[in-house]
Structure 1
Amino acid sequence: MRAMQARGDEARFLLDDMVDDVVERLAFLRHVPARALLIGEWSGLLVPQLPHGCEVVSLHPEEGFDEETPFPVGGFDLIASFGTLDTVNDLPGALIHLRGALSPGGLMVASFPGAGSLPALRDAMLAADGERPAAHMHPMVDVRAGGQLMTRCGYASPVVDSRPLSVSYRSFAHLLRDLRAQGLSRALASPVPRLSRAQAALAAAKFMDGAERRTEEFEILTLSGFRK
């Protein structure tokens, strides 16, 4: 499993957007948690915005935490997961374990890159691969599948939505740097052939398409629901 990483002043725009969204949802729903579990929130921006006195437990997949196994503790009024659930092997199982760790009436919010992310990069990699395309990116969840999962996993009042986030780049290399910094590189266990220098140059040229800057699109998918 990959997770977004904090390294100095490197990019974290996706996590910032996800944190802002959780804060807005809590205010809109008037949900005031007394005990919260935060998964993958390495920025530290959310904790000061939670209600005063809220007990917070922070866990990080890169430190050995496994979302696909039952939680040793429960009774959380809020569980917020950031940028990790799209790379678990058993997403339905992980959602069920998250629901099990909630207290009755507790809220789960999970945000991660959705299937509409990185269309320009996908086109560039297809162009570089030629007649033998490789799995350079792991499969991503779309809105419809997210809704079906939330219902299947027993959440009350499930809500699934997505929002776009556009980012401008001055080079293909800058895009790749941002993806690595935020843990968005390939997460599949199976090996994939490395691009040759010629293929890498073709991918870079296709991505920029002769422009000085190129806008790439990210889709942030958010699943939320309550425990009955």
Structure 2
Amino acid sequence: MSPPEIFDRAARRRRRDIVPRDYAGHAFLREVMLDGLAERLDSVSRRFTDMLDLGCFDASLPAPPGARVARCDAGFTFARTARGVQADEDRLPFRDGSFDLVVSAGVLDQIGDLPGALTLARRTLRPDGLFLGAFLGGSSLSVLRAAFRGARPDRPAARIHPMIDLRSAGDLLTRAGFRLPVADVETLTVRYGGVGRLFEDLRGMGASNLLIARTAITRGELARVADAFAAAADPDGKTPERFDIIFLTGWSPSPDQPRPAARGSARASLADALQRFPPAD
């Protein structure tokens, strides 16, 4: 059974067609993601020949030397500019085993069926292919979230996407069939002079509210949100907002990959170790 839709696919496509007009001025989070993914890729000592850029935005993700790259985005304008394919991440048109590297930066937090999207990404990989992903999760936008809660305490409305925490992210990799899964997080703090500037960044990077259950915000609610956001400011008048970037690393299954030892297969016991190396008094 398919999971319930929580994101408005049509609205997401429309907004991604608006974002490119001023995307470069708001792409700082994705730039941090790309730097982190490049570091992780540099630590892998192997050659890749076919890469999928999943959620390509402006095609700023570079391909490894000598690799062919296919780019895919849910927005028509981004896909056309990148000379790629327009498709949702959980509805990929690529055949199984098409790539040996799939990289995704900045879109996995906007997919209702994220387990399905990760499973599809794994299926497009050849045996021992690498998946690298980065997205906003954890406690991101904690100040803005609190401001929205305080603005309508009696009738809270969904204004910010639900966030995936670090542990759940690792579990999703395992559930999707990846081997050797690793999930880690980097936290970035950005200081804003007002909530309006934060809204501009969120719209400009394609991270505004895409929930199906979204409702229009009233002037009164917006004023209360602005006041609460300003009340959390530092002495210089700027409010620090938190962005947790979760990085994912996983490998498609292959017979020659190392596997964890089976439970109970250890040949040495803790008692034996303590006898050989007794604790200090």
Q: So what's the TM-score if we normalise by structure 2? A: 0.75
Alpha-carbon contact 1:124-1:203 (below 8 Å) kept: yes
Number of matched residues?
225
| In 2: Cα distance, 1:32 partner to 1:174 partner | 42
Name the counterpart of 1:155. Answer: 178
Which amino acid counterpart does residue 118 of structure 1 have in structure 2?
A: L
| In 2: Cα distance, 1:18 partner to 1:150 partner | 18
Name the counterpart of 2:5. Answer: none
Alpha-carbon distance change, 121 to 210 in structure 1, aligned in 2, over 3 angstroms: closer
Name the counterpart of 1:206. Answer: 228
Note the 1:98-177 alignment, pairs <5 A.
98-177=121-200
- Structure showing greater relative contact order (alpha-carbon pairs closer than 8 Å, 6 or more residues apart): 1
| In 1: Cα distance, 2:232 partner to 2:168 partner | 36
State yes or no: 1:68 paired with 2:90: yes
Q: CA deviation at 1:142?
A: 0.8
Does the residue aligned with 1:6 lie in a helix, a strand or coil? helix
Alpha-carbon distance change, 58 to 94 in structure 1, aligned in 2, over 3 angstroms: same
Alpha-carbon contact 2:101-2:130 (below 8 Å) kept: yes
| Structure 1 unmatched runs, 5+ | none
| In 2: Cα distance, 1:223 partner to 1:51 partner | 18
Alpha-carbon contact 2:105-2:133 (below 8 Å) kept: yes
What whole-Å deviation, never above 9, does each CA across 1:3-40 have from its counterpart, x for those lacking one?
A: 86433342101110111111101111224311100022
| In 1: Cα distance, 2:114 partner to 2:59 partner | 26
State yes or no: 1:186 paired with 2:209: yes
Note the 1:82-97 alignment, pairs <5 A.
82-97=105-120
| Structure 2 unmatched runs, 5+ | 1-8, 77-85, 254-281
Q: CA deviation at 1:198?
A: 2.1
Q: So what's the TM-score if we normalise by structure 1? A: 0.92
Alpha-carbon contact 1:161-1:222 (below 8 Å) kept: yes
RMSD in angstroms over aligned alpha carbons?
A: 1.8
Alpha-carbon contact 2:143-2:232 (below 8 Å) kept: no
Alpha-carbon contact 1:15-1:41 (below 8 Å) kept: no
Say which is worse superposed, 161-170 or 82-91, in terms of deviation: 82-91
Alpha-carbon contact 1:23-1:46 (below 8 Å) kept: no
| In 2: Cα distance, 1:22 partner to 1:41 partner | 14
| In 2: Cα distance, 1:44 partner to 1:98 partner | 18
Name the counterpart of 1:40. Answer: 55
Q: CA deviation at 1:115?
A: 2.8
Alpha-carbon distance change, 200 to 51 in structure 1, aligned in 2, over 3 angstroms: closer
Alpha-carbon contact 2:232-2:239 (below 8 Å) kept: no
What whole-Å deviation, never above 9, does each CA across 1:134-153 have from its counterpart, x for those lacking one?
A: 11112121111111111111
Determine what percentage of the aligned residue pairs are the same residue.
36
State yes or no: 1:51 paired with 2:78: no
Q: CA deviation at 1:70?
A: 4.7
What whole-Å deviation, never above 9, does each CA across 1:154-201 have from its counterpart, x for those lacking one?
A: 101100111101111111100000001111111211242x33222211
What whole-Å deviation, never above 9, does each CA across 1:60-116 have from its counterpart, x for those lacking one?
A: 112341221254334211101122122212111111100000011110111111031
Q: Could you tell me which of 246, 250, 253 is aligned with 1:225? A: 250
Q: CA deviation at 1:43?
A: 3.8
| In 2: Cα distance, 1:182 partner to 1:67 partner | 18
Does the residue aligned with 2:25 lie in a helix, a strand or coil? coil
